[in-house]
């Protein structure tokens, strides 16, 4: 991960420096895997704010990413003015950060009508979402969920499946879906372990099956399972029993609800604007 994003930031840093010099900002806000922003802030002599958007330790991500860059400042980077973190403390433990509420953004897509209300037959709904970015070790999450669907008395909704023919009676498919709007009618969600989907499910209080995968996805699955707000299940082990537990285990639902309440109690980003700006 550090090698990949170190190389990415080597490509970004020239443009970031150019924009910073031309625009002359008073402050630079950057994310952990975009350390080029911190370099740009240092070069033009303005403070930087690190905005975390995963469960990983924000400062450590910046450190390892910067260490992998070829174009890094000989004097190193000055300390950030502030480190914002959307990671729930009960999942990741105490950190020297400013906690902030996670606010999900699912794009401009419209919620499909079928997801606006709970299933009319009273069955629980399980949402299945896979990554928008193909990568190593991805596996066939959608296929595994379809194969397991007959073993659970639930409505299984596939988001952006590659195929929609021959689906079981209790499985339906939808296109691009804003997760934050879809999750309130769901009893569980199965996904690839990306931080955006994981945090959206936590914020909604919905138990989740997280597939351990490459990059941050294995650690994300471990965090969720360790908190009791979901299960870490490899794709090959997703079966009817795993889906049934997802929607019937009261302990998972209770822990997910606790994390939802914890996140809702954190300050909204709008409430931190003055602090971020140094006021």
pLDDT of residue 278: 85
Q: Answer yes or no: is pLDDT of 202 > 90.
A: yes
Verify that 52 and 157 share a domain, yes or no.
Answer: no
Verify that 72 and 169 share a domain, yes or no.
Answer: no
Verify that 49 and 126 share a domain, yes or no.
Answer: no
Q: Answer yes or no: is pLDDT of 135 > 80.
A: no
Verify that 9 and 50 share a domain, yes or no.
Answer: yes
105 located within any domain:
no
Q: Answer yes or no: is pLDDT of 1 > 80.
A: no
Verify that 74 and 117 share a domain, yes or no.
Answer: no
40 located within any domain:
yes
Verify that 135 and 241 share a domain, yes or no.
Answer: yes
Q: What is the share, in percent, of the chain residues with pLDDT greater than 70?
A: 97
Q: Are 118 and 232 in contact (CB under 8 A)?
A: no
Q: Which domain holds residue 137?
A: 113-264
pLDDT of residue 262: 98
Q: Answer yes or no: is pLDDT of 131 > 80.
A: no
257 located within any domain:
yes
Query: Who wins on pLDDT, 214 or 18?
Result: 18
Verify that 121 and 64 share a domain, yes or no.
Answer: no
- Mean pLDDT confidence for 194-210: 97
pTM here? Answer: 0.93
Verify that 237 and 130 share a domain, yes or no.
Answer: yes
- Mean pLDDT confidence for 209-234: 94
* Number of alpha carbons in the 13 Å side-chain half-sphere of residue 72: 20
Verify that 37 and 170 share a domain, yes or no.
Answer: no
Query: Who wins on pLDDT, 72 or 270?
Result: 270
Q: Answer yes or no: is pLDDT of 133 > 70.
A: no
Verify that 60 and 175 share a domain, yes or no.
Answer: no
pLDDT of residue 139: 76
93 located within any domain:
no
- Select from 231, 255, 260, 222 the least CA-distant residue to 92: 222
pLDDT of residue 16: 95
Verify that 75 and 197 share a domain, yes or no.
Answer: no
Phi–psi pair at 12, nearest 5 degrees: -85, -30
pLDDT digits 0-9 by tens, 137-172:
557 999 999 999 999 999 999 999 988 888 999 999
99 located within any domain:
no
pLDDT of residue 136: 55
- Mean pLDDT confidence for 24-37: 95
Q: Are 51 and 30 in contact (CB under 8 A)?
A: yes
Q: Which of 85, 105, 134 is the last residue of a domain?
A: 85
**CATH classification at residue 230:** 3.40.50.2000
55 located within any domain:
yes
pLDDT digits 0-9 by tens, 108-129:
778 999 999 999 999 999 999 9
Verify that 125 and 73 share a domain, yes or no.
Answer: no
Mean pLDDT (the chain, rounded)? 93
- Select from 194, 117, 195, 129 the least CA-distant residue to 156: 129
Overall domain count for the chain: 2
220 located within any domain:
yes
276 located within any domain:
no
Q: Answer yes or no: is pLDDT of 3 > 90.
A: no
pLDDT of residue 216: 84
List of residues 6+ apart from 261 with CB closer than 8 A = 205
pLDDT of residue 268: 98
């Amino acid at each position: 991960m550090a090698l990949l994003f170190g190389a990415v930031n080597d490509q970004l840093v020239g443009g970031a420096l150019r924009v910073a010099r031309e625009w002359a900002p008073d402050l630079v806000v950057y994310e952990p895997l975009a350390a080029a922003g911190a370099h740009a802030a240092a070069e033009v002599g303005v403070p930087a704010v690190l905005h975390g958007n995963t469960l990983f330790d924000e400062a450590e991500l910046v450190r390892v990413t910067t260490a992998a860059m070829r174009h890094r400042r000989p004097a190193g980077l000055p300390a950030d003015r502030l480190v914002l973190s959307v990671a729930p403390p009960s999942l990741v433990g105490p950190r020297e950060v400013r906690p902030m509420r996670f606010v999900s953004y699912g794009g401009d897509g419209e919620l499909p009508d079928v997801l606006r209300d709970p299933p009319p037959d009273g069955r629980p709904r399980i949402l299945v979402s896979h990554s928008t970015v193909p990568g190593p070790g991805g596996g066939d999450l959608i296929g595994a969920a379809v194969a397991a669907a007959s073993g659970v008395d639930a409505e299984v909704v596939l988001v952006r499946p590659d195929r929609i023919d021959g689906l079981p009676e209790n499985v339906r498919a939808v296109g691009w879906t804003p997760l934050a709007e879809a999750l309130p009618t769901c009893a569980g969600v199965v996904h690839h372990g990306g931080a955006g989907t994981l945090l959206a499910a936590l914020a909604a209080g919905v138990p989740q099956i997280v597939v351990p995968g490459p990059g941050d996805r294995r650690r994300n699955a471990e965090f969720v399972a360790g908190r009791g707000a979901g299960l870490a299940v490899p794709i090959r082990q997703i079966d009817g029993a795993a889906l049934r537990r997802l929607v019937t285990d009261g302990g998972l639902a209770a822990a997910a609800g606790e994390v939802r309440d914890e996140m809702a109690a954190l300050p909204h980003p709008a409430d931190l604007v003055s602090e971020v700006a140094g006021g």
